[in-house]
Amino acid sequence: MDILDRKDLFERLAGEREIILDVVDAFLIHMPAKIEALQQAVIRSDALQIEECGHAVKGAARNVSAIALQEVARQIELAASENSLTKTNGLMNELVSQFTKLQAELEKLAEEL
């Protein structure tokens, strides 16, 4: 699964360099707090909060065409909606890993634009 679908990102934002840079910058600034909120909800075993935070991460990932991150966030959201909280623990590790990979890809993209 792709970490970043560049083609989709460019199509989504009409290939506008400045808009792409703004969206990527905002994502990189705000996503760590979203992930931290999700991690805290997992620690507290708060299924409703996990579902809400997972949904927020999923939407933000979709905005930057982060396919792999979006999929893991979707799985977390689904697990929480099914009250399968032990599953969310393992998925959190995958989410953090995918975000780390995505950061590198987005930084590389920004340098290329």
Task: Read off the pLDDT band of 80 (50, 70, 90).
Answer: very high
The amino acid present at 18, given as its one-letter code, is E
Q: What is the mean pLDDT of residues 57-79?
A: 97
Q: Is 49 a domain residue?
A: yes
Q: What is the pLDDT of residues 5-15, one digit of tens each?
A: 999 999 999 98
Q: Is 48 a domain residue?
A: yes
Q: What is the mean pLDDT of residues 61-71?
A: 97
For residues 81 and 56, what is the distance between their CA atoms, to the nearest angstrom? 14
Q: What is the pTM of this model?
A: 0.94
Structural domain boundaries, residue 85: 6-112
Instruction: Collect all residues with Cβ–Cβ distance below 8 Å to 21 and sequence separation of at least 6.
Output: 110, 113
Number of domains in the chain: 1
Q: Is 1 a domain residue?
A: no
Q: Is 56 a domain residue?
A: yes
* Token pair of 51 as six digits: 């579902």
Q: What is the mean pLDDT of the chain?
A: 96
Q: Is 63 a domain residue?
A: yes
pLDDT at 85: 93
- Percent of the chain whose predicted confidence (pLDDT) is above 90: 97
Q: Is 11 a domain residue?
A: yes
CATH number of the structural domain spanning residue 11 = 1.20.120.160
Q: Is 59 a domain residue?
A: yes
Q: Is 35 a domain residue?
A: yes
